[in-house]
Amino acid sequence: MLGSGGLVVVDDSTCMVKFALRIMKFYKHESCGWCIPCREGTDWLEKTLTRFHTGGGIKKDIDNIQYLSENMLGRTFCPLGDAAALPTISIVKKFRKEFEDHLEGKPCPFEKQSSVQRLPVFA
């Protein structure tokens, strides 16, 4: 549905920004650092998503997150970059509204009932 073949089930109380962030934290950690798009891309996506989620976002960030992921896709040395980029692209495309909500209802409108903390820890 969103990306790399892994399956994660979340309900609609999950903040998709935080979800994207959680995914990016994982891939940033897993990146070996070999090639530019994966090493730098996961880092900037994680930095931007963290700021965005904690209320520091600006409108341009949303496009930028999509731009960054699209520019990683298909251009990295190994498929890890694709795996990081695909879900992010899908999330931004399919849940753009949730991103926009973060700009108004700063910091995170879901924060109180967030279920994302209960997600299983990857790896």
Partner 1 sequence: MADSPKLVNVTVDGKAVSAPAGTLLIEACKTAGIEVPAFCYYPNLSLQGACRMCLVRVEKMPKLQTACTTGITDGMVVVTDSDEIRQARKSMVELLLGNHPLDCPVCDAGGECELQDMTFSYGAAESKYIDIKSHRDEQQWSPVVYFDRPRCILCYRCVRVCGEAMDVWALGVDNRAVNSTIVPNKEDHLECEECGMCIDICPVGALTSGAYRYKTHPWEMKHVGTTCTHCADGCKTTLGVRRSDTGMEIVRGDNRDKSGINGDFLCIKGRYAFDFANHEDRLTQPLVRRNGKLAPATWEEAFALVGRRFKEIRDRDGGQAIGVIGSTRTTNEEAYLLQKFARTVLGTNNIDHHRTADLPAFAAAIHGKPNSTASMRDVYDAPAILLIGNDPTEQHPLLAWQIRNNVRLHNARLYVANSEEIKLHRQAVSFTQIPNDGYHEFVSFLAGPGSDGGGRPSPQKSWADIREKLLAEPKLVIIFGSEIFGNGIQSLTKFAAGIPGAKLICLADYANSRGAADMGLYPDLLPGYFAVSDGNKFREEWGSLPQKTGLSLPEMLEGAKSGALKALYVIGANPVGRLNVAPADLKNTFTVVQDMFLTETAALADVVIPAANAYEKSGTFTNTCGDLQIVKKAGELATAKPDFEMIVRIADAMGFDVHKLVPFGHGVRSDMGQSRGAQSGEADRHGVWLEANGLEPKMNPFDPMAMLDEIQRLVPGYDISRIELMAGNDQHTAIENMEPGATQRSELIAPANNNLFTSGTVGRYSRTLNSVIENKNPEPAEVPAD
Tell me which residues touch partner 1 (CB under 8 A).
28-37, 39-44, 47-48, 51, 58, 64, 67-68, 71, 74-77
Least CB distance from residue 103 to partner 1, whole Å? 15
Shorter beta-carbon distance to partner 1: residue 54 or 115? 54
Cα dihedral value 60, 62, 67, 68, nearest 10? 100
Distance from C-alpha of 18 to C-alpha of 50, rounded to nearest angstrom: 8
Shorter beta-carbon distance to partner 1: residue 10 or 103? 103
Both structure tokens of 104: 């108004």
**Would you say the C-alpha torsion 7, 47, 113, 12 has a positive or negative sign?**
negative
Least CB distance from residue 26 to partner 1, whole Å? 11
Shorter beta-carbon distance to partner 1: residue 40 or 111? 40
Query: 1, exposed or middle or buried, with CB in 10 Å at 0-12, 13-18, 19+?
Result: exposed
Q: For 84, list phi and psi in degrees, rounded to 5.
A: -80, -35
Tokens 């910091």 -> residue: 107
Least CB distance from residue 53 to partner 1, whole Å? 13
Shorter beta-carbon distance to partner 1: residue 19 or 27? 27
Both structure tokens of 77: 């040395």
Least CB distance from residue 86 to partner 1, whole Å? 14
